[in-house]
Structure 1
Amino acid sequence: MTSQSNRRRFFGTLVLVASIVVGLNGCSVSLPSEMAPTVVEGPNEGYLLEPGNKVRVTVFSESNLSGEFLVDPIGNIAMPLAGTVPAMGLTAKALALRVADVLSRAGYLRDPKVAVEVMTFRPFYVLGEVRQPGEFGYTSGVTVLGAIAKAGGYDYRASKGEVVLIRQVQGVEKELRATERTPVLPGDIIKVVERYF
């Protein structure tokens, strides 16, 4: 009888240990295998304009045509003389070429020189095990650690340094593994994962 109860206890313990192992494996977060790039182009290079962005347009030697303009809800900017110029989906360089073309074709300027700088970008988001998750205004040069600091820092459940970065890459959303030094781009989603022991 004693050996039978010992056997039951042994199998009960074995089942309990197996269920704990399975439970722990089920709880763990698998991080993406692909690492996020540690060097990125400046946000002005590949950033595509969208409604709500503010741009500074400089028409050289024409201060009355230069200024800051908001991309309106349908994706245009309204400029003096040039009128309504479609901007949505263009980079800053492409918009500069478009503005120069509009001014040239309308006969206002011969061979205008135009530069465009993006003043406000799409925000980034910090989720997961941080004190104040949310949406944050993008500033050039921010890293994952800086983004986490804006979100109030790690909370007590955070697995420090275990970060998933969700980024649009050529129109496709990708999950990447990131470190605290990974540069953040406009529109990125940073997820700080939970530690389990």
Structure 2
Amino acid sequence: MRRIIAATFVSLDGVMQAPGAPEEDPTGGGFQFGGWTFHYFDEATGAALDQIFDKPFDLLLGRKTYDIFAAHWPYAGEDDPIAVLFNKVTKYVATRGDTALDWNNSRSLGTDVPAALTELKKGEGPDLLIQGSSDLIQTLLRHGLIDEYTVLIFPLLLGKGKKLFGEGTVPAALKLIRSQSFPSGVIMATYQPAGDIKTGSFALKDPSEAELRRRESLK
């Protein structure tokens, strides 16, 4: 079976919008901090990306991210190893419109994206790697289709912006598989789903009268 892996840049407060450049995605009221990852990239952070792209993969993209990538990577040159990879692999695209997918090896997922991806996951082939695509991620979260998260967390707070765990988030436990920190302050952490959330209590076995009154006041 194929896995769906979300590999995402996020700020410490969970924003993933426009990490690469000011013009990348200013939507949603004029996002002002596009390009927020730029000054954190160094040799160690680049090596972390190499780890992400080291295994065979196909790309899984929402339409907005697809358009950003299609306007960049085919023109980046053959001396850019990421461009060579992205131009070669199959691109599966969640798109509602009829605009052609002109980037080579691009395929539309059709009108029912969760169903199409459920079938793709049953088949043989490399993992499906999500880049960007915050809207698509919300759909996949709602349907429980993401098998692994590799998150590069950058040491800054962006406030408003599109978030990795946004409106599609369903409560669930995660298991940390591996983590690594870099001199720039960036942390890379990989998580897999780990079932339902388990709760417990540190409250006194016999709650005090003050605690009982406090609980009553919350009703």
Fold match, TM over 0.5? Answer: no
| TM-score normalised by length of structure 1 | 0.24
Q: Which has the larger radius of gyration?
A: 1
Higher RCO by CA contacts (8 Å cutoff, separation 6 or greater): 2
| TM-score normalised by length of structure 2 | 0.22
